[in-house]
């Protein structure tokens, strides 16, 4: 590894807020197979083995984080939430946040075809980076790093999952039992623009009517949907 590459990797360490004990691990994480194939040197290995390991490390850490954060969630809820976090799009977004594409070693073909911006390559690179950190410092440090990195995304995705689950559930019940789709209507909104409160009514024909209140329409709708499910379950 030449001095210029070492300097690049040092700059990347500052961006990702992690300093490697073995910088060769970081270098390996940023070598795409197209570059390794062109080099055809035994010493130049691509990041695919690291990607394989990183996928497993990431899934284990996220699983543990979600179990600790959501003790009341069942296996199905945890699986859905994990799947929304550990997939190509969010991982690629995190890689973009780190400007990982700027530090990748790519073959000429991938370079010309815009490989530095491809979600598939960036998400794989992110997984390889996680594996490099794991091999460099062990599970506890990796867990801490992933936990800090994913907290805001977990909050966002867990909110979406709640909205999706309640509204989907009440719609399924309504269609199966009454052959209609629930209707949501805005009753009122009040408060200053920066701190509005919304009140939403959910109605299922003339059978069920509930209201929900929230700081946005989605929150109010999910509260109304939750109340409707409770009524429907109570009435059998």
Identified catalytic residue from 55, 110, 124, 219: 55
Mean pLDDT over residues 216-224, rounded? 89
> Could you give the domains of the chain?
3-137 (1.10.1520.10), 161-235 (3.30.160.20)
d(CA 117, CA 72): 39
Considering the chain, what is the average pLDDT of its residues? Answer: 91
Instruction: Quick: pLDDT tens for 151-171.
Output: 989 988 777 765 567 888 899
The verdict on whether 159 is a catalytic residue reads no
* Distance, C-alpha 199 to centroid of its chain: 30
Identified catalytic residue from 46, 110, 124, 127: 127
The DSSP 8-state label assigned to residue 105 in this structure reads B
Burial 83-97 (b: 16+ CB within 10 A, else e): ebbbeeebbbebbee
Mean pLDDT over residues 92-121, rounded? 95
Structure tokens at 170: 């009440």
The verdict on whether 127 is a catalytic residue reads yes
Residue tagged 């969010």 (tokens): 90
């Amino acid at each position: 590894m030449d001095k210029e590459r070492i300097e690049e990797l040092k700059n990347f360490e500052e961006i990702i807020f992690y300093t490697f004990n073995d910088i060769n691990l970081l270098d390996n994480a940023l070598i795409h197979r197209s570059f390794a194939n062109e080099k055809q040197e035994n010493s130049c290995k691509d990041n695919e083995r690291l990607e394989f390991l990183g996928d497993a490390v990431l899934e284990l850490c996220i699983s543990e984080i979600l179990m600790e954060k959501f003790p009341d969630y069942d296996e199905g809820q945890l699986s859905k939430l994990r799947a929304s976090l550990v997939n190509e799009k969010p991982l690629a977004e995190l890689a973009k946040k780190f400007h990982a594409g700027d530090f990748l070693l790519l073959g000429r073909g991938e370079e010309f075809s815009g490989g530095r911006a491809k979600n598939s390559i960036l998400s794989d690179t992110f997984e390889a980076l996680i594996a490099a950190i794991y091999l460099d410092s062990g599970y506890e440090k990796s867990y801490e790093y992933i936990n800090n990195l994913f907290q805001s995304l977990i909050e966002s995705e867990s909110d979406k999952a709640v909205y999706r689950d309640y509204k989907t559930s009440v719609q399924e019940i309504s269609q199966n039992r009454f052959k209609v789709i629930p209707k949501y209507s805005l009753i009122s909104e009040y408060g200053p623009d920066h701190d509005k409160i919304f009140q939403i009514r959910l109605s299922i024909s003339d059978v069920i009517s509930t209201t929900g209140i929230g700081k946005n329409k989605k929150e109010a709708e999910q509260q109304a949907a939750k109340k409707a499910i409770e009524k429907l379950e109570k009435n059998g």
